[in-house]
Amino acid sequence: MTTDIRTETASSAGPDRQVSPPEDRHATELAFLAAYDSGPRPPSWRLTPRTVVTFVMGSNGEALHLPESAAAPEGVPRRLVVEQKFVGDRALVERCVVTLAGERGLLLVGEPGTAKSMLSELLSAAVCGTSGLVVQGTAGTTEDQLKYGWNYALLLAQGPTRQALVPSPVLTAMTRGAVARVEEITRCLPEVQDALVSLLSERRIAVPELAGGEDALAHAAPGFTLIATANLRDKGVSEMSAALKRRFNFETVGPIGDLDAETALVRRQAHAAVTRAGAPFQVDDAILEALVTAFRDLRDGRSAEGWEVERPSTVMSTAEAVSVAGSLALAAAYFPGDRDVLSLLPGHLLGVVRKDDPADAARLLGYWDGAVRRRAEQGSATWRTLWDLRSVLES
């Protein structure tokens, strides 16, 4: 599965972990925003809906100031620029926040690599302070993983008791009034998906093994809701039932629309990868722009100039572009002077397009004979070099 990625700071991971959750990575911003806006909040929310959107989309470079009446939490400045974390449509994020404020299920759909998972993590961290109440959907996901299991040592010693019950992330979110996340919901078997229908309708989970009465029911606290994600490419794995679809508001997360914004994101991510390795960043902007342009051409089936391009079956996502850019940056850092960085680009592109269908290599070659050649003929030095590297795609 392609990793969803839009933005991440160079200091996103601590010394003992590769990736930190957003609630840890952006703890200062979250504490600042909690003090910044004292307006009305939905039940159990850490931030107001407006500041949730600000956390995800940033403050547009503007420094926010805590009100004079607000006490700054320890270690939190009174003035802060909130960074943009999701590169996309602000209206989309606002609709997502309104859905969650109404305690309705939110389903983020889109092509792989469009940051659905990252957006769900950011929203969860801002709303309830944790993005960790998550179930990863697979063909092996069971109903127990959505509801509850048992500590079998205690079960044998005490019988079915509250102490022996092991709550699922969803049940934990219900009792806390928090946000639960289900990744790749369409990869779950239909009978597992069906368990969510009653859960989202009745807002309680029955535990028949316990004694009757209220002790056998776990009720959702105010504020509980659920965010699920689904890839459009996986729609046929386990199609959601009409009953389950009605329990969600659907929001489609699309690719980044602006070339400059996507290039800037790829640059930040590649730079962050090299920074973590303690090496200098040595990839020219012209190379990154050519990389992102090629991805966008192949993704859209049409070049920026309007030339027809045969699309490969592989999803040419921003996440894949970030991966290639990171590889180029690390190659330049670890093997300085061995080869021109631009000469590595065709081989990496070939590796991406061949992931789903080896026949896509011919489509990439067709792209070289079309858009790459025509740009080279128009005098671009970068695209001329890439055209001269065509033989790499034939080897």
Q: Using alpha carbons only, give the angle 301, 318, 15 rounded to the nearest 5 degrees.
A: 165
Judging by DSSP bridges, how do beta strands 204-206 and 217-219 pair with one another?
Answer: antiparallel
**Structure confidence at residue 198 (pLDDT):** 86
Q: In the predicted model, what is the mean pLDDT of the chain? A: 90
Dump pLDDT digits (tens) for 45-104.
Answer: 999 999 999 999 999 999 999 999 888 889 999 999 999 999 999 999 999 999 999 999
Name the DSSP letter for residue 367: H
- CA-CA distance, 163 to 15, in Å (whole number)? 36
Confidence check: pLDDT of 112 > 60: yes
Q: What is the pLDDT of residue 338?
A: 76
**Residues paired with 146 in a beta bridge:** none
Nearest CA-CA partner of 36 in 106, 126, 120: 126
pLDDT band at 235 (very low <50, low <70, confident <90, very high): low
Whole-number pLDDT of residue 214: 57
> How many Cβ atoms are within 10 Å of 140's Cβ, its own excluded?
11
CATH architecture of 22-252: 3-Layer(aba) Sandwich (3.40)
Tokens of 269: 């991510």
**Whole-Å CA distances, 310 to 66, 200, 233:** 52, 43, 18
Paired tokens of 197: 């229908």
Among residues 100, 134, 97, 141, the alpha carbon closest in space to that of 117 is found at 134
The rounded percent of the chain whose pLDDT value lies above 70 is: 94
112 contacts 317 by C-beta, under 8 angstroms: yes
Determine if the pTM surpasses 0.85.
Answer: yes
Spatial separation of the C-alpha atoms in residues 146 and 320, rounded to whole Å: 31
Reading the block at residue 137, the tokens are 């959907």
CA-CA distances (angstroms) from residue 164 to 151, 157, 167, 169, 210? 5, 9, 10, 16, 10
Secondary structure (3-state) at 168: coil
Longest dimension (CA), the chain: 79
| Confidence at 368, pLDDT banded by 50, 70, 90 | very high
Q: What is the pLDDT of residues 189-230, one digit of tens each?
A: 998 999 999 899 999 998 888 876 556 788 999 999 999 999
Which pairs with CB-CB distance under 8 Å and at least 24 residues apart come from 6-9? 6/85, 6/86, 6/87, 6/88, 6/115, 6/118, 6/119, 6/256, 6/265, 6/318, 7/83, 7/84, 7/85, 7/86, 7/87, 7/265, 7/268, 7/269, 8/85, 8/268, 8/269, 8/272, 9/83, 9/272
5: pLDDT strictly greater than 60: no
